[in-house]
Structure 1
Amino acid sequence: MALPLRSSIYFTAVFLMAILAGLLTLGIRQYQLLKNYETVISQSEKMIFHFSIIREEITDSLLEGRFSNLSGINKEFEDINTKLSQILANKHVPDEYKLSFINQEVDLPGIIIQFRGIDKERIDTNKLRMLNREVRVLGDRLMMFDRVIVNHAKRKLIGFQNIVIGALAIVLFILVNVLVVFHRQVAVPLLFLGRQVKEVAQGIRASISLGKKSGEVSELAESFSNLLISKDQSSEGLAKHNRTHLAVESVAYSIVHAKSKENLFQDICKSLLVNDDYYLAWIGLPDMEHKKIRPVAVNGTNTMSSRECEEYMDILLNSAEERGGIYNSAMQALLKGEPVIQSDVLSGVPKGLRKNIPFEGSNLSCASFPLIWNKVIYGVLCIYATSRDCFEDTEMDLLTVMTTELGLAIYNYDVLAQLRQKKVLNKQIVSAVKAVLISISSSGKILSLNSEAEKIIGRKEQEIVGGSFLDFFVPLGEDPQTYKDKGIEALNSYMLDDIREMVVPQKDGSQRILRCQLTNCLVQQDDEQEVLCIGQDVTEQKRAVEDLSRNLDAERGRKIETFRASHLAALGELTTGVAHVINNSSNGIINYAQVLEDEAKDSAWSQGQIELLEKIIKEGERVADIVQKLLSYGREMEGLKETVKIGDVVSDANMLVKEHFKNDGIITTLHSMEGLPPVTVNVAKMRQVFIHLLNNARRALNLKYKGKDDNKRLEIKGEMAAKNGKNLMRISLTDWGVGIDPGNMSKIFDPSFSTKPPDETAGMGLAISKDLVEDHGGFLHVESELGDHTTVAIELPVN
């Protein structure tokens, strides 16, 4: 039974490591033996070398008769004896060699003693010869002992070396066998496996197999084979998913770019066939009344013409109807409201008809999807495929989402169609009622307009389209430049569905009025929200209303003027009577005072008393003068014109209001008008004009200054002027009062307009004054700055 590959590798590795450890141990042992024997041999050789030197010295001493030197050699022999004892004590020298050497006739201590006993005076020749012989014998024995030790070391080392060599041979043999087994069991199958993998990569082989081989390599090959199968399956599944995804993307592109619903259906069927797994696709609309489906678009593979596609679709539909409703997947999808898959669609098709179908003989499947949005079914999409694993769950999920988007697209087309119909109807209605219709983008750009809009703007459509709405329309009552400076924010500030009146400037400088309403349109253009401006030209209506208002104001003014005239007439009669009484009384007072003055001059009256009488006479004359002017002012003003100095008329009017001005603290500066030429006027009417203007100035100053103030002043001056080649006399009255609001400047000559509180009598001073001045061929102008001053200028023609 073969061990597993991993166990075999582990076992082999452990075995080789054990052998290598043994070899290492043998090597270390051999090294130690070598070192030990080298030490013993070195000691022996040194001892022999030392002994050789001593022996040579002994020989020389004996031959030369230097016996005195022999007595000193005993110390050298003691050293040799010590070295010999160390060698014999070494454990690496076998005991049998030690005993053999000791048992020999070698008496080294005796030799040492003999050398010590040599007498220098008496030399025994026999003893010397015997000593010399023993020294030679000792040398031979030492040489022999050295040879024995060396030979023993050689034998030991060579024997141990043979053991090491044998062990190496055994290890090499085992290693070779292991490699052979590894080669047969692992290397060869791996090489074979690698070659098969390369062939699979090149497409020569379809799978990997080691035949009858077993073990881990075979399992590895099987794993590789399974991986290749899984890879092929994954690649095929991924490719299939990519084909489906590509078809869905193509459908999405068609949904976005289709120009009509009919084109959308054709493009959808064509886009689905981007997936090579699909052979035929068609879309039908439901006819629930007859429980049928009406095909509106069909497309097939490139090998089929449009006519063939329609024929094949008819064959499939007729076959499904003949087999019954459960085999009609399209109708089932409509009834259930969910996708339906039908396999083996061709099983119910007669064999005679199958011959004409290009995918005859294949397992044709059909997937039908209802086109639904907001629970409303708009149609059905049917897709035919022949792949064995077609219409799997992931594919169905993608297609279901796609058909949902298609349902939304159909819904949008229907809504747009309804909106277009409503838009056409609205245009017809707008045209019938002659309404202005302008389409505006959210950025304020004019997109389109009708003929009524062209009329009110006074330009052709090509001059208007693309321009800004702000350039042609300004809200009534707003400054045009301020409105344009605000930009689109100005347009956005107006609430939608609020009715507004817009001023439409014309080329000739005139203006027309558009009453309009802005409302959002459901249709977007160029990704911008479209706003509709619907309105009517109310210029003539506004003019008619203004004319009527002016006529009513004029009528009201005439009534007020008539009432005031009658009131003034009655007041004039009453004033005339009172004035006559005052005049008579003043004349009596003057006469009596004059008599008293005459008597006082003749009598012994004091000067102070006489001055009092003179003052009485003077004041009486002043009263008489005022009464006389009042009588003149109260007379009928339809009299003839007189040539007078305008300064006298101004002075008379100022005299009548002088007391009021004095009481109010108003400082009046009346410049001299002596240099002005005379004018021909109705004195009473012109005096009335100046009284009106003086009263207006007094009221303006009193509104600004409640009491006396140095700035509470009125300035009256006259000067000559020229206008349109004519000489004019200009009398201007400037007060530094409250001024006139710029918004009221256009109304100041309106008889019905007044800034006085309701509890004060509304006057018509400026309106009457303007009419009276114009009756004299003159002009009345008003210039004012709110909070600073007001200047009223009267221009009269001179003689």
Structure 2
Amino acid sequence: MALQRIIWLSVLGLGLILIALLGSGVRQYSLYAGHKAIADQSETLLFRFTIIREQLMDELLQAENGNLENVSRALEQFNSSLSSVLADRRIADEYKLGFMQAVDISGMVVMVRQLDARPHAPELRRNLNREMRILGERLLLFDRLVVDQAKRRLVGFQNILIGTLALLFFGALVALFWGYRRVVLPLVCLNSQGKEVLDGDRLEISCPADGRWLSGVVAMVNDLLRHDAEMADRLERQVALAAMGRRAIAALSQARTMEQLGVEVCRALRHNSDYCLVWLGCPLRPHGLKLLGVAGGGPGLVEPDNLALVSGLPVAGREPGKDSGPVQRALATGEPVVISDYLATVSPGLLQDTKLAGRRAAYGVFPLSEEEEGLVGVLAVFSTANEGFAPCELDLLQGVATAVGMALRQFSATAPGREHKWQLLGFNLAESGGIMAGVAHEVSDLANGMINYAQILADEPQEQQTQREIAAKLIGTGEQLTGIMKKTIFYSRGGGHDEEFLPLGEVLADAITLSRFSMKGSGILVEQDLPADFPSLPVNARRMQQVFMLLCEQARRTLDLRYPTKDQNKRLLIKGEISSRKQGRCLRLCFNGQSSRIDPELLAGLQEVVAEQGGELQLDTTGAEAVVKIEFPC
């Protein structure tokens, strides 16, 4: 408000000064024009009077006064002109009265006419000559007075104008000095502070003593600086989270045993400096904890019972105060459970001799899989960050937990008596592992790209357009990574009772996306030739996705055997078309590159799954290569 008031007052003052200067110029011009007009009128009167007097003198010197009638008419015209001059308001009234009282032009006209009637009257001649002399003297005096009056008025106004301009100039100097002290110096001070902020010598700027009117601007700039610092911290944290996710994915792809997987994943997550304790395990019933891996926390939390008690799980001889702890809630709901300042609810005696003693930490529990999957486990993280877990951080940790659950299910798939969906279809762990390895490498590459984009923003000041381009790439890569993880999670969750139905085209697209990664590692080109008007046929998403991915994996194995090295014919073509048959229109999908010696039991299992969805699957071996054809009625 103060800055706006100063600006408005300055504009108003300048406007008034300009108006005053314009009025002064108009007044100056008016006075000068009046002075010139009065001088011209007075000179004209004197000139005409001189002519009339010369004409009268000539007539009086002659013996006969034959032209006195012309003199009388000239005097009458002169009297009329003099009356118009005296009527001018620019001439002071006292000058007009003095002049009119001293002369009598009408009487002179009468005397000229009398002299014309009596040319030899000496008395009339003397009187007329005296009146003419008096009139001439009065005209000269009148001319000097009125011209001097106009001149004095003009000069007086000029003196006032000059004095006013001098005062205005002095006022302008004072205003400039005041403005320099109250406006320029505070701005120079702010500019100096801004350079210090850019150099990193200070975190925010302060309002100068003489620049209180800048308090609003200073507050806004400080808010922007704090927001920029928060964004930088958030970006740095995002970079750390991306690096953490990359390490976790690398640990998943490199682990050879369940125990190695748990330890390496916990160590990878512990690289985040905000995490003081990370553990991975399976709660046991009725109490206890099967610990798969732990990182951080100190030696006091190495024992499973101690760790379970601190984490809110029941242990033998000691039960938690609540009926359902965070771990049980996470397993029951299948959703992450986050408790801010969780350590405040834990007895200090339990934290003695641990790295958690005297600290404030948020507690996040992320389920690895649902209870009906047969493997119950959680990923638990203690974070000392001031804001706890960010939303994107929760999504990342839940994605890691889901990927860990997928890997653990693969390790446990070979346990005695455990049935697996892929085993029923003849899809062994090596094939599933190949797909998961391809996905892991793709996710790792995308994570590396996100880290590189974010590091550019964090390390170097870029132009605004460049920042927008890098941010757009970062967002696009993150969305691509999220999409891949969602498809992988959906595929890996298993379970025979999932009745989620999705359009056939969407299920096929997700399966191609996941299979493309393993195909890329084998040097196989995946091509699609699908109709633009792909019908929206609802199918069991899980079952049909497994069928499509199995066909793609069978094609990969067959092409690898057929072309051990890189070859231009090493490609998988998935073709779709709308065809007609007796029962009506149908959608036909063809997968080439198949083996003609496919396992009959596997083929029968695939045909059974497709038949459950109302379709038909056939193996065509009449061509140069075997083709699997799937038809669905439209």
Aligned residue number for residue 483 of structure 2 = none
Equivalent residues of 1:74, 1:115 under 8 A apart = yes
Equivalent residues of 2:281, 2:379 under 8 A apart = yes
Deviation at 1:49, TM superposition (A): 1.8
Alignment of 1:77-116 (within 5 A): 77-104=75-102, 106-116=103-113
For normalisation by structure 1, the TM-score amounts to: 0.45
Bigger RCO of structures 1 and 2 (CA < 8 A, at least 6 apart) = 2
Is 2:143 aligned against 1:158?
Answer: no
Q: How many Å separate the matches in 2 of 1:93 and 1:195? A: 65
SS at match of 1:205: coil
Equivalent residues of 2:71, 2:112 under 8 A apart = yes
Aligned residue number for residue 189 of structure 2 = 192
SS at match of 2:301: helix
Specify whether residues 443 and 229 from structure 1 end up closer, same or farther in structure 2 by C-alpha distance, changes over 3 A only. Answer: closer
Match of 2:606 among 503, 514, 520: 520
SS at match of 1:284: strand
Equivalent residues of 2:183, 2:211 under 8 A apart = no
Deviation at 1:130, TM superposition (A): 4.8
| 1:312-358 deviation line (CA, Å, top 9, x unaligned) | 7654324x84588245679865444364665489976999x77xx8x
Specify whether residues 63 and 272 from structure 1 end up closer, same or farther in structure 2 by C-alpha distance, changes over 3 A only. Answer: farther
Equivalent residues of 1:254, 1:271 under 8 A apart = yes
| 1:409-449 deviation line (CA, Å, top 9, x unaligned) | 533554588558779999xxxxxxxxxxxxx9579969579
Q: How many Å separate the matches in 1 of 2:307 and 2:289? A: 15
SS at match of 1:141: helix
| 1:237-272 deviation line (CA, Å, top 9, x unaligned) | 343345335534664676689787667546644553
Specify whether residues 113 and 258 from structure 1 end up closer, same or farther in structure 2 by C-alpha distance, changes over 3 A only. Answer: farther
Q: How many Å separate the matches in 2 of 1:240 and 1:251? A: 16
Specify whether residues 322 and 497 from structure 1 end up closer, same or farther in structure 2 by C-alpha distance, changes over 3 A only. Answer: closer
Equivalent residues of 1:287, 1:293 under 8 A apart = yes
| 1:683-716 deviation line (CA, Å, top 9, x unaligned) | xxxxxxxxxxxxxxxxxxxxxxxxxxxxxxxxxx
Structure number with greater Rg is 1
Equivalent residues of 1:443, 1:488 under 8 A apart = no
Equivalent residues of 1:519, 1:532 under 8 A apart = no
SS at match of 2:290: strand
Equivalent residues of 1:68, 1:120 under 8 A apart = no
| 1:514-537 deviation line (CA, Å, top 9, x unaligned) | xx97442999xxxxxxx999xxxx
Amino acid in the other structure paired with 1:32: S
SS at match of 2:291: strand
For normalisation by structure 2, the TM-score amounts to: 0.55
Q: Superposition RMSD on alpha carbons, in Å?
A: 5.3
Amino acid in the other structure paired with 1:317: V
Specify whether residues 286 and 119 from structure 1 end up closer, same or farther in structure 2 by C-alpha distance, changes over 3 A only. Answer: closer
Q: How many Å separate the matches in 2 of 1:218 and 1:393? A: 35
Is 2:128 aligned against 1:131?
Answer: yes
Aligned residue number for residue 201 of structure 2 = 204
Is 2:200 aligned against 1:216?
Answer: no
Amino acid in the other structure paired with 1:520: L
Equivalent residues of 2:244, 2:272 under 8 A apart = yes
Match of 1:244 among 241, 244, 249: 241
Equivalent residues of 1:346, 1:363 under 8 A apart = no
Q: How many Å separate the matches in 1 of 2:189 and 2:32? A: 51
Equivalent residues of 2:343, 2:360 under 8 A apart = yes
Match of 1:232 among 229, 232, 238: 229
SS at match of 1:91: coil
Specify whether residues 75 and 257 from structure 1 end up closer, same or farther in structure 2 by C-alpha distance, changes over 3 A only. Answer: farther
Amino acid in the other structure paired with 2:606: N
Is 2:274 aligned against 1:277?
Answer: yes
SS at match of 1:209: coil
Deviation at 1:149, TM superposition (A): 0.3
Specify whether residues 532 and 249 from structure 1 end up closer, same or farther in structure 2 by C-alpha distance, changes over 3 A only. Answer: farther
Specify whether residues 63 and 441 from structure 1 end up closer, same or farther in structure 2 by C-alpha distance, changes over 3 A only. Answer: same
Deviation at 1:287, TM superposition (A): 5.4
Amino acid in the other structure paired with 1:325: L
Specify whether residues 147 and 7 from structure 1 end up closer, same or farther in structure 2 by C-alpha distance, changes over 3 A only. Answer: same
Deviation at 1:73, TM superposition (A): 2.6
Percent identical among aligned pairs is 29
Equivalent residues of 1:33, 1:157 under 8 A apart = yes
Q: How many Å separate the matches in 1 of 2:110 and 2:56? A: 15
Aligned residue number for residue 302 of structure 2 = 317
Equivalent residues of 1:74, 1:112 under 8 A apart = yes
Q: How many Å separate the matches in 2 of 1:361 and 1:66? A: 141
| 1:369-427 deviation line (CA, Å, top 9, x unaligned) | 3422355554332445544444356633542354234324533554588558779999x
SS at match of 1:206: coil
Aligned residue number for residue 368 of structure 2 = 371
Amino acid in the other structure paired with 1:88: L
Deviation at 1:19, TM superposition (A): 6.0
Equivalent residues of 1:30, 1:157 under 8 A apart = yes
SS at match of 1:229: helix
Alignment of 1:363-512 (within 5 A): 367-376=364-373, 377-383=375-381, 385-392=383-390, 395-411=393-409, 414-415=412-413, 441=551
Amino acid in the other structure paired with 2:158: Q
Specify whether residues 446 and 199 from structure 1 end up closer, same or farther in structure 2 by C-alpha distance, changes over 3 A only. Answer: closer
Aligned residue number for residue 144 of structure 1 = 141
Aligned residue number for residue 36 of structure 2 = 38
Specify whether residues 497 and 491 from structure 1 end up closer, same or farther in structure 2 by C-alpha distance, changes over 3 A only. Answer: same
Give the strand-richer structure, 1 or 2: 1
Alignment of 1:64-75 (within 5 A): 68-75=66-73
Deviation at 1:203, TM superposition (A): 1.2
Amino acid in the other structure paired with 1:92: R
Q: How many Å separate the matches in 1 of 2:400 and 2:427? A: 35
Equivalent residues of 1:37, 1:153 under 8 A apart = yes
Q: How many Å separate the matches in 1 of 2:377 and 2:209? A: 60
SS at match of 2:160: helix
Aligned residues: 447
Specify whether residues 68 and 521 from structure 1 end up closer, same or farther in structure 2 by C-alpha distance, changes over 3 A only. Answer: same
Specify whether residues 328 and 293 from structure 1 end up closer, same or farther in structure 2 by C-alpha distance, changes over 3 A only. Answer: farther
Q: How many Å separate the matches in 1 of 2:603 and 2:212? A: 90
| 1:733-766 deviation line (CA, Å, top 9, x unaligned) | xxxxxxxxxxxxxxxxxxxxxxxxxxxxxxxxxx
Equivalent residues of 1:329, 1:340 under 8 A apart = no
SS at match of 1:372: coil
Q: How many Å separate the matches in 2 of 1:330 and 1:366? A: 17
- Gaps spanning 5+ residues in structure 1: where? 300-308, 427-439, 450-460, 469-485, 500-515, 524-530, 534-799
Equivalent residues of 2:288, 2:308 under 8 A apart = no
